[in-house]
């Protein structure tokens, strides 16, 4: 063994291992060990989805877009760098449950303040390890994302757990945006600081800030850090905001965030966006991309197993380049309906050629299905925040 290496065959924070199961609605049952909450309460029920990122488990676990979902990581070992408070995307884990192959015995990171298992347990999140995640992901890729149940102990039979999964709510038709919203009507304070993308210049002192009204459907912190880093004053409002309230804020730009659930079920916000479409430069990410498309007259559909990971290739058709992106979504915008609504497809996912971005031909509206804030993920698409700021600056000059 090389000098300086530490080897450990057991998780040092564990007491007696607790047997646990993951039951899928198709009748498949996986057995493993619990390393999260010992009393998950009403958690542990949701749509089972997988993420192919090698790093970024903290960001994924705290991404509100995973509300109502049991997250499976395809990386073989998770928890290596513990939990770093600066890296989470919301106050607490948002997933319904967490499933991995193997948990790292000892986290190694000078910035870490906690280990993965105790942190999940403190927030009541059930988590399983020693699961054959390769076999599990093969099922999800073949049959599509499906409902599942995490259970600890042996109080229920396998068949009872399968029936519970079959009786749980499906993701289609669920409006989860309102409950996931992190809006507080207070000005956003954090910027990127030392994490500013290479080549981006800090905003010059004395420049009048741009007012951005962010409709928060479960937005990630790093999105707002990017906007603040570019000199924007950001106010987050809930998806129940009305057109009159948007106009009362008098923003220079409108942002629509990511979030969980079925976009077609968020009917109130779609109507609001339809009414104000074109009044302000508007940028949408992920669920925001889908909601803006619906507001403009396009339609959406559910992907078989979604796009979730930090290695998703996207073709930027207008810049003629390929970008590697971070994605987390289970619904997609229909291309034909988008074009019929007066929009141009600007980005295409190269794995399945689905729509990954669009802009309206006449209105100052554009959106992408991926996450340019790169948390987690590469920084290839961070320039989209500069594009939004440029659109707002041009609009301000035109109306001054």
CA end-to-end span of the chain: 69
Please check whether residue 13 is in contact with residue 118, taking contact to mean a CB–CB distance below 8 angstroms.
Answer: yes
**3-class DSSP assignment, residue 225:** helix
Helix-helix angle 221-229:383-399, to 10 degrees? 50
- Please indicate whether residue 371 is annotated as part of the active site: yes
Catalytic residue among 252, 349, 360, 371: 371
Catalytic residue among 217, 232, 286, 332: 286
Residue recorded with tokens 């659109």: 391
Beta strand segments in 244-382, E: 253-256, 282-285, 300-316, 321-333, 343-349, 355-360, 365-368
Backbone angles phi, psi at 236, to 5 degrees: -95, 130
- Please indicate whether residue 155 is annotated as part of the active site: no
- What's the CA gap between 228 and 36, in Å, rounded? 35
**For 398, left (φ over 0), alpha (ψ -120 to 50), or beta?**
alpha
Q: Residue 232: which residues within 8 A CB-CB, separation 6 or more?
A: 209, 210, 211, 212, 253, 389
- Please indicate whether residue 379 is annotated as part of the active site: no
Q: How many CA atoms lie within 13 A of 225 on its CB side?
A: 21
Please check whether residue 289 is in contact with residue 258, taking contact to mean a CB–CB distance below 8 angstroms.
Answer: no
Token pair belonging to 325: 């992106």
Residue 169: DSSP 8-state: P
Active-site amino acid positions: 286, 371, 373
């Amino acid at each position: 063994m090389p000098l300086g290496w530490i080897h450990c065959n057991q998780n040092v924070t564990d007491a007696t291992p607790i047997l646990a199961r993951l039951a899928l609605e198709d009748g498949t049952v996986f057995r493993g060990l619990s390393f999260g909450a010992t009393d998950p309460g009403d958690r542990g029920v949701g749509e089972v989805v997988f993420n192919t990122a090698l790093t970024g488990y903290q960001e994924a676990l705290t991404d509100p877009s995973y509300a109502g979902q049991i997250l499976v990581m395809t990386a073989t070992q998770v928890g290596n760098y513990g939990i770093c408070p600066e890296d989470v995307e919301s106050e607490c884990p948002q997933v319904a449950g967490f499933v991995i192959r193997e948990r790292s015995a000892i986290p190694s990171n000078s910035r870490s303040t906690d280990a993965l298992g105790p942190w999940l347990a403190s927030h009541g999140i059930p988590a399983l390890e020693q699961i054959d995640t390769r076999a599990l992901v093969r099922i999800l890729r073949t049959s599509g994302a499906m409902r599942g149940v995490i259970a600890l102990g042996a109080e229920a039979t396998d068949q009872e757990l399968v029936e519970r999964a079959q009786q749980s709510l499906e993701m289609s038709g669920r409006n989860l945006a309102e409950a996931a919203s992190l809006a507080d009507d207070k000005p956003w304070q954090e910027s990127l600081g030392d994490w500013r993308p290479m080549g981006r210049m800090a905003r010059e002192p004395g420049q009048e800030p741009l007012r951005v009204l962010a409709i928060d459907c479960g937005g990630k912190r790093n999105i707002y850090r990017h906007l603040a880093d570019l000199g924007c004053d950001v106010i987050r409002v809930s998806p129940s905001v009305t057109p009159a309230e948007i106009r009362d804020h008098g923003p220079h730009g409108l942002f629509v965030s990511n979030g969980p659930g079925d976009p077609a079920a968020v009917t109130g916000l779609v109507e609001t966006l339809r009414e104000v479409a074109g009044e302000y430069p508007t940028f949408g990410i992920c669920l925001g991309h889908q909601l803006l498309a619906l507001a403009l007259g396009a339609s959406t559909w559910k992907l078989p197993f979604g796009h979730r990971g930090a290695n998703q290739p996207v073709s930027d058709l207008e810049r003629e380049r390929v970008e590697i992106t971070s994605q987390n979504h289970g619904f997609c915008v229909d291309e034909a309906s988008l074009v019929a609504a007066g929009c141009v497809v600007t980005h295409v996912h190269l794995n399945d050629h689905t729509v990954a971005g669009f802009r309206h031909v006449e209105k100052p509206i554009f959106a992408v299905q991926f996450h340019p804030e790169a948390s987690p993920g590469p920084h290839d698409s961070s320039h989209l925040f500069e594009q939004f700021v440029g659109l707002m600056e041009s609009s301000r000059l035109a109306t001054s």
